[in-house]
Amino acid sequence: MPYPPNHRLETRARIIVSARKLFNQFGFDGVSIQQIMSNAGLTHGGFYKHFASKSDLYAEVLECFFTDPKWNNNWEGVHIDMTAADAGAQIIRAYLSRQHFEEVENACPMVALPSDVARSNENAKRAYQAAFKAMVALLQRSSAKNGHGNRTSALAIAALCVGGMVIARASEGRGLANELRGAAMEVALKLGGWDGDTNSGGTKSRRHRSKN
């Protein structure tokens, strides 16, 4: 019985989702192809029908919701509407939210994998850079509506979001992590010209609210 027309694309997507979750948890070197395929409910031999190597797969895993329209750009209680006028503010609040902090498997790879990327090949570095540039471009377009749409501010906001979450994740205990996220969120929102209440435990916005 022949496979349906979209079988290959769906299988490839399953492998990418599986790899993203495992890489986010254990890093590039801590995960085998066998583990990736097993977690996806697939056989090891099928891997090479879709990817030439684990490094080839790794570059695709580094896609984020800024570059991949199929990315599930939400965490529990937090969703980003990329078409909204305040999309930039929503990105900041969501990115530095408690939910993103706690969601390791489905975290943005820019937060979970920067050290691995630094040691990886050029394809992975290009993919990481593409995701970061896409984030900067979206923040710049959104903040332009407030008269703050310059590249320098957008770069600083993106760095606060990604770097703030990286350091928060590396901190021992919740106290400093919450303080870091709250401070990064407050400064990032000000740089973009957005008003809104923030706190160290979660995110709040007019449209999307989440519990602390």
Summarize pLDDT for 129-161 with one digit per residue, the tens. Answer: 999 999 999 999 999 988 888 999 999 999 999
What is the pTM for the complete model shown? Answer: 0.81
Say if residue 69's pLDDT is above 80: no
Beta partners for 204? 209
CA 24 – CA 101 distance, rounded (Å): 12
Domain boundaries of the chain, sorted by first residue: 7-61, 74-192
> 74-192: which CATH architecture?
Orthogonal Bundle (1.10)
Per CATH, the homologous superfamily of domain 7-61 is: Homeodomain-like (1.10.10.60)
